[in-house]
Amino acid sequence: MGHVPGTLSMQSIPITVTPTPPPGIGGAVSTMLSWLYWIAWVAVVGAGLFGGFKIATGDYEGGKKYLGGAIVGAIILAFLWALIGGLLGS
């Protein structure tokens, strides 16, 4: 089959993409994500304690909001790596 001027060739070109970070950045990004993960856990525990304190002092509605947020946050953080792995298809 010859080439027709003004048309695109529909040939397949194999492209291989490897998901690797640029040199020297992988360790820094991993460290930063680990710190963010632990800070998020501290925030979840803090929200749970603050919600319990608010309930103990009589603010039931405000305390329930904080406790509910802490529970949802804990569930999300507990399954975070599985969610990321599922979204990235690994």
61-79: pLDDT as tens digits: 999 999 999 999 999 999 9
Task: Pick 83 or 55 by higher pLDDT.
Answer: 55
2-55: pLDDT as tens digits: 566 666 666 677 777 776 767 777 788 778 888 999 999 999 999 999 999 999
Provide the token pair at 85.
Answer: 């792995």
Quote the pLDDT of residue 4.
64
pTM: 0.66
